[in-house]
Structure 1
Amino acid sequence: MMTLSDGDPIWFELVASDPAAAATFYASVYGWTTHTSPVAEHGGYIVASAPDGDGVAGLMAPPPGAPPAGGWSLYLLAHDIATTLARAGDLGGRVVFGPMDIPHVGRFAVVLDPQGIPFSIMQPFAQDAARPFKQMPGAHGHAVWIELATPDPDGALAFYGGLFGWTKAGAMAMGDMGEYAFIGTGDGRPGAIMSSTLTRAPQHWNSYFLVPDIHAAIAAAEAGGGKLIQGPDPIPGGDFSANIIDDQGHQVGIVGPGGNAAA
């Protein structure tokens, strides 16, 4: 089993006002199956699995006292969460929740980066064989790309680079929208950083999940009450990317081949 590095994406989580409805929606779009965690302390947390059986995401209602808006969040790995959180503070980040334990899972905290964009850091209690983030052909239902839209791409790269060792591994020019800077971590390329100001994208971390046919996935999203807000656009390698708003108003990405439909 391949060892993961600090900063690798290890979990994806949706806070939604109706998690059961979200489970139905994403089952149709991503091909997920879902079940409620059998651990009583998890409070009805819904676990979503990809077609290959790997757990990839969690769905939950807003916890008591939390803002009702919800949305998708990204968990990044830390082998030593205390040290990583201290470093995040030194680099201009701020811990806004935790650290606290999730029974039988791990210890996590929510951090705001220097631009005020949230992400979560997790130190698992044990290494899991499942890979929610899997950049492999045919890894349908898995996340395959993460993307940060931020008002200060250079500042964000300095922060995450100092925190996780990420480097800028090339970039794609987007004209008036600036550049799409690829994140490098060892041999991996988990995602990219771009300007939220120039692209007018919401300031947030976005995650993209792989599907067998992007047009079928978009059609399923629209049939389930979602809305296409970007794409499908061709990307290097022959696939397409798109962004949708789900039936409860939360943005998330899709990647996949074009199938037989016209782009």
Structure 2
Amino acid sequence: MSADIAVPEHEKEMRFYSRVLSTGERPLWRAEDLMNNLGLPIIGLGRRAPEYESLPLQWMPHIQVADVGSSVARAAELGGKVLMHMKDDSGRSQWGVVLDPNGAAFGLIPVIPAEAVPPAADEDGPVGCIAWLDLTVPNADATRDFYKEVVGWSVQEILMKDGDEPYADYAMLGSDGKGAAGICHARGANADLPPVWMLYLPVGDFEESLRRIEEEGGKVVKAVRGEFTYAVIQDPVGVYLALVPG
């Protein structure tokens, strides 16, 4: 899984992510270029050049699909907005950038061969990766159906509670039956989360990363410690993402 974003104040943003992600005795991310500790480009932080002005300030996950052109067209039919659609000289779709009906941005790319997928760990321990991906929206049922149609994911219900009231969030499963992402209702513990794809990035020293966030001009929106420890944060230009212990 990979993701990218085009940001203003690129130098300031680069410093923020370099400092926040490169904590611990064995950092999971390289401070100089934000590649992971194996030198793989999992996340990309680009400059906000004029050709990217139409893109929202959100981290955009790259979602693999069998046919980019068909998925782009289906997204538009279902109320999404196509921001970019790159084709080769023969007219074959290469990749696309889409807003879903909630305004959450994501990229569509061809399926990557298994041998080209970077490892999530090596012999020496964990490496930098996107640990999880989820989207919190007011209407999770409609959003679930949108991504089923556009991406081809299947669904597994995850039982939740809002006080004494039960409800279900959704784990979206890839063709291998493994969890690819989560789609959640904006209620209960998730009531205040924004409707954007939230990247969960692991860091070597969780508490030190949280300390550096405000030091570098960001904000800790929500920090949870316990069985599942994570923090929702904003970077200096207001972009949301989440951190988890590596």
Q: Over residues 191-245 of structure 1, what are the superposed CA-to-partner deviations in whole Å (9 max), with x where a residue is unaligned?
A: 211123661321111111111232122112222222111113334xxx4111111
The residue type equivalent to 2:186 in the other structure is: S
Instruction: Give the gaps of 5 or more residues in structure 2.
Output: 23-28
1:246 aligns with 2:235: yes
Aligned residues: CA RMSD: 3.1
Distance 2:115 2:66 in 1: 13
The residue type equivalent to 2:30 in the other structure is: T
1:57 aligns with 2:48: no
1:195 aligns with 2:185: yes
- Answer 1 or 2: higher relative contact order, Cα 8 Å, separation at least 6: 2
Identity of aligned residues (%): 23
Q: Over residues 166-192 of structure 1, what are the superposed CA-to-partner deviations in whole Å (9 max), with x where a residue is unaligned?
A: 233231414159544222223311321
Alignment partner, residue 24 of structure 1? 15
1:71 aligns with 2:83: no
Q: Map residues 1-263 of structure 1 onto 2, 5 A cutoff.
A: 10-31=1-22, 32-33=29-30, 48-64=34-50, 66=53, 70-100=57-87, 107-123=94-110, 129=116, 131=118, 134=120, 138-175=125-162, 179-185=168-174, 186-196=176-186, 199-235=191-227, 239-256=228-245
Greater Cα shift, 176-185 or 239-248: 176-185
Counterpart contact for 1:157–1:167, Cα < 8 Å: no
Relative to structure 1, the CA distance from residue 188 to residue 206 in structure 2 (aligned partners, 3 Å threshold; closer, same or farther) is same
SS of 2:69 mapped into structure 1: helix
**Offset at residue 141 of structure 1 (A):** 2.5
Distance 2:112 2:152 in 1: 23
SS of 2:128 mapped into structure 1: coil
Alignment partner, residue 5 of structure 1? none
The residue type equivalent to 2:95 in the other structure is: F
Distance 2:182 2:42 in 1: 20
Distance 2:229 2:57 in 1: 27
Greater Cα shift, 53-62 or 25-34: 25-34
Distance 2:145 2:56 in 1: 29
Distance 1:135 1:118 in 2: 28
SS of 1:141 mapped into structure 2: coil
**Offset at residue 69 of structure 1 (A):** 6.4
Distance 2:203 2:39 in 1: 15
Q: Calculate the TM-score normalised by the size of structure 1.
A: 0.74
**Offset at residue 253 of structure 1 (A):** 0.5
Counterpart contact for 1:81–1:108, Cα < 8 Å: yes
**Offset at residue 90 of structure 1 (A):** 3.8
Length, aligned pairs only? 229
The residue type equivalent to 1:16 in the other structure is: V
Relative to structure 1, the CA distance from residue 174 to residue 212 in structure 2 (aligned partners, 3 Å threshold; closer, same or farther) is farther
Greater Cα shift, 109-118 or 174-183: 174-183
The residue type equivalent to 1:250 in the other structure is: V
